[in-house]
Chain A
Amino acid sequence: MSDHLSASSWTVSTRTRGSAVSMLAILALVALAFAAPLFVSRSVVQDLFFILTMLVLAQCWNLLAGYAGLVSVGQQAFVGFGAYAMFAGVSLLGMDPMAAILLGGLAALALSVPTAFFVFRLQGAYFAIGTWVIAEIVRLSLAQWKALGGGTGTSLPSGATRDMVGVRFVADLLGVRGPQATDIVCYWLALFLAVVTIGSIYKLLRSKQGLGLAAVRDNREAARSVGVDPTWTKSFVYLVAALATGLAGALIYVQKARISPDAAFSVPDWTAYVIFIVVIGGIGTIEGPIVGVIVFYILQSLLADYGSWYLLILGLIGILIMLFAPRGLWGLFADRTGLQLFPVRRILAGQPKPKDIRGSD
């Protein structure tokens, strides 16, 4: 039967019905988000900033755990290191915060190289705790850096964020005061970072490397046998995730303007929340972290007054989802509707020639 098939009647595509529509909807949503500071209050802008930065962290963790099978419990290493590098750039080198954010990302990338060397000697669960040990080492080392406040931490020089590139311009343009303009600039940076992160991950997953990644996740040996180098592929993903995580960490701390080792390397803030966002939303999908971060924000708003009950409930939800709906809320939704906003699955489209249809059945 394959003799009769002309190769040209089949095409491989990752598009699904509705994916073009969803692209338009996403573009509209991004445009709306860009315009948001014009018509929402400062506290809403701050909340949106929080959501977007958590989304970036969640997408990075999901890329590692959901696509590359690298379960890291130590991404706070890159959040904290990026943030500290930004602080060093601003406080010690007198850099503009905007440039220092880039420095933070690059520093995290630089840290990820020796880190990868160590943790890639560890498999599976050992990898997870290995990344955690690295994060602890970085935290304890930076706590020794007296110029940045040692164990107690420090604040950005007063006025540093007000003088950041673009803040004055935004303040004049929108007629708002300096601190509010800083929040708006940070928010736009977070929006930009989130869009670029999601776009890059989407592009990566649709590329040949992305296919290799899926192959490595599903069967390491088989992937090797068809010429995918699992170590190289995983290392690449690890470095990229470190870069984006470091950028997000630096950006978060530009907005916070105060840093301490315990806060910047906090396991609950930068890893536990992030893991729950991904697990609740749906691991191994781009949509999952988006859904997860929204659910996370709603839960936080509802339960913020209940202190540790909040994390306790989040933990229980995470456990229940992992046990009974391991593909998360988005997985449940997608199974029922077949909807995919970011289709990465390759679909064989086309049809056999009419002659073959008559021949079969």
Chain B
Amino acid sequence: MSWLDTILQGILLGGLYALFAAGLALVFGIMRLVNLAHGDLIVLAAFLILLLVSALGLNPFIAAAVALPVMFALGWALQFLVLNRTLGNDILPPLLVTFGLSVVIQNGLLEGFSADSRRISAGALETASLQIGPISIGTMPLLTFLSAVGVIVALNLVFYRTSLGRAFRATSDDSATAGLMGIRAERIFATATGLAMMVVTIAALYLGTRANFDPTMGPARLIYAFEAVIIGGLGSFWGTLAGGIIIGVAQTVGAAINPEWQILAGHIAFLLVLLVRPRGLFPRAVD
């Protein structure tokens, strides 16, 4: 395996991590809420897609499209009914409630689906690849990366080109004054979490079709997502993609040296970036 190939695989893997991270960045950017159940929600969405594929015989992409509104509604309700109650100056309630949620989702999935590894079958796409000169690119990894770019473009459009996006930013700046504009922060937050859950669903589609998954793998996805967000900084969704790519490349390069070093190399890259740029590569101007 050539180095160029290794790095390219890493960049494409970074697309998956950016998908894990984009929802986390969206929610944290708007309401300063770190959802410790984020990884478990990705796994939950993967099981939802699996259920739709196996029960209704849907194509995974169609199943994901069906899951999108379901996950939006779940996210909206979760934020509106539970997480909004935890917001405030004290960081303990949101952290502990989402930590509890993480444990509940994990063990609920264990009860419902057992600890077995599952995979969503994507048919011929799984093994398809593109040959560009000497390098072969898997179609699924490429699709993942393009989806990540698409998600980030879409989030940017929503954030900077729509009335909803203005409301997101205004609420994040100053929710009391936003209230004077008729913006109901609790609904804005619920909508943001709903959107984040739609991104989570897209992430889950690729999580489930590219490799095996089981109910306990959520926390590790949360960590990768979190590392990508911190490396990127909170100033831009593109930073999150950059953060995902850095973790992805570090992991594939680490794995190329010694397969046991894959995950460790990603974490160490995170620590190094943190050491050099504590506020990430693209920090937010006002924080």
**In the complex, are there CB atoms of A and B closer than 8 Å?**
yes
- Chain B residues near A65: list those with CB within 8 A: 92
- Asked if B164 lies at the interface with its beta carbon under 8 angstroms from chain A, I say no
* CB within 8 Å for A315 and B96 given contacts A125-B34, A308-B110: no
Binds A, one of B54-62, B63-71, B222-230: B222-230
**Does B260 reach chain A (CB closer than 8 Å)?**
yes
B267 touches A133 (CB 8 A): yes
For residues 37 through 77 of chain A, which have their beta carbon under 8 Å from a beta carbon of chain B? 65, 69, 71, 73
Closest to B111 in A: A308
**Residue of chain A at shortest CB distance from B220:** A136
Supposing A125-B34, A129-B34 touch, asked if A275 and B267 sit within 8 A by C-beta, the answer is no
Contact of A71 among B92, B104, B226, B268 (CB under 8 A): B92
Chain B residue with Cβ nearest A278: B96
Stretch from B43-51, B198-206, B270-278 that touches the partner: B270-278
Tell me if A129 and B223 are in contact (CB < 8 A).
Answer: yes
B100 and A136 contacting across the interface, CB-CB below 8 Å:
no
Are B86 and A323 interface neighbours, CB within 8 A?
Answer: yes
A312 interfacial contact with B, CB 8 Å:
yes
Contact of B93 among A272, A275, A307, A322 (CB under 8 A): A322
CB distance from B270 to the nearest CB of A (A): 6
Is B73 on the interface with A (CB-CB < 8 A)? no
| B219-A267 in contact (CB<8A) | yes
Determine if A312 and B107 form an interchain contact, defined as CB atoms under 8 angstroms apart. yes
Tell me, rounded to whole Å, the shortest Cβ–Cβ distance linking A301 to chain B: 18
Q: How far is the CA of A151 from the CA of B264 in the complex (A)?
A: 13
Interface contact B100-A319, CB-CB below 8 Å: yes
> How many whole Å from B3's CB to the nearest CB in chain A?
23
B226 and chain A: residue at smallest CB distance: A129
Main secondary structure of the interface of B (DSSP, over half): helix
B263 touches which of A140, A267, A283, A319 (Cβ 8 Å): A140
Q: Does the CB pair A322–B100 fall under 8 Å?
A: yes
B99 interfacial contact with A, CB 8 Å: yes
Is B103 part of the binding interface, using a Cβ–Cβ cutoff of 8 Å?
yes
Cross-chain contact B264 with A140 (CB below 8 angstroms)? yes
Kindly state whether residue B101 has any CB partner on chain A within 8 Å: yes
Q: Which residues of B contact A316 (CB under 8 A)?
A: 100, 104
Q: Which residues of B contact A124 (CB under 8 A)?
A: 32, 34, 91
CB pair B260–A121 under 8 Å, yes or no, is no
| B284 close to chain A: CB less than 8 A | no
Q: Mark A296-338, 1 if CB is under 8 A from B, else 0.
A: 0000000000011111101110110011001000000000000
A166 interface residue per 8 A CB criterion: no
Q: How far is the CB of B20 from chain A (nearest CB, A)?
A: 13
Assess whether B86 is in contact with A322, with CB atoms less than 8 Å apart: yes
CB–CB A71/B95 < 8 A = yes
Q: Which residues of B contact A339 (CB under 8 A)?
A: none
- A289 nearest CB across to chain B (Å): 14
Is B95 a contact partner of A128 (Cβ separation < 8 A)? Answer: yes
Check B260–A283 contact: CB distance below 8 A. Answer: no
Q: B36 near A: Cβ within 8 Å? A: yes
Within 8 A of A (CB), among B18-35: 28, 32-34
| Residue with the greatest number of chain B CB neighbours at <10 A, chosen from A133, A275, A311, A316 | A133
- Name the one of A71, A118, A319 contacting B91, with C-beta atoms under 8 angstroms: A71
B271 touches A323 (CB 8 A): no
A128 to B219, CA, bound (A): 13
Question: A238 at interface (Cβ–Cβ under 8 A)?
Answer: no
Q: Are B271 and A118 in contact (CB under 8 A)?
A: yes
Name the interface residues of B209-253: CB closer than 8 Å to any CB of A.
219-220, 222-223, 226-227, 230
- B102, B107, B110, B271: which contacts A137 (Cβ < 8 A)? B271
Residues in B whose Cβ lies below 8 Å from that of A122: 230, 274, 278
Are A268 and B103 within 8 A (Cβ)? yes
Q: Point out the residues of chain A lying under 8 angstroms from B32, CB to CB.
A: 124-125
What residues of B have a CB within 8 angstroms of the CB of A143 in the complex?
Answer: 260
Does B75 reach chain A (CB closer than 8 Å)?
Answer: no
| B97 at interface, CB cutoff 8 A | yes
A136 to B108, CA, bound (A): 24
Kindly provide the distance from the CB of B156 to the nearest chain A CB, expressed in whole angstroms. 24
List B contacts of A307 (CB < 8 A): 110-111
Q: What are the nearest 8 A-B pairs in CB distance? A: A125-B34, A315-B103, A308-B107, A315-B104, A312-B107, A319-B100, A318-B100, A308-B110
With A73-B95, A133-B226, A133-B227 known, 17 other A-B pairs at CB within 8 A are A71-B92, A73-B99, A118-B274, A121-B274, A122-B230, A125-B28, A125-B32, A125-B95, A126-B34, A140-B263, A283-B92, A308-B107, A312-B107, A315-B100, A319-B97, A319-B101, A323-B82
28 pairs, CB–CB < 8 Å, chain A vs chain B: A71-B92, A71-B96, A73-B95, A73-B99, A118-B275, A121-B278, A122-B278, A124-B34, A125-B28, A129-B223, A132-B219, A133-B223, A133-B267, A136-B263, A143-B260, A272-B103, A275-B96, A275-B99, A310-B107, A311-B107, A312-B103, A312-B107, A315-B101, A316-B104, A318-B99, A319-B101, A323-B82, A326-B92
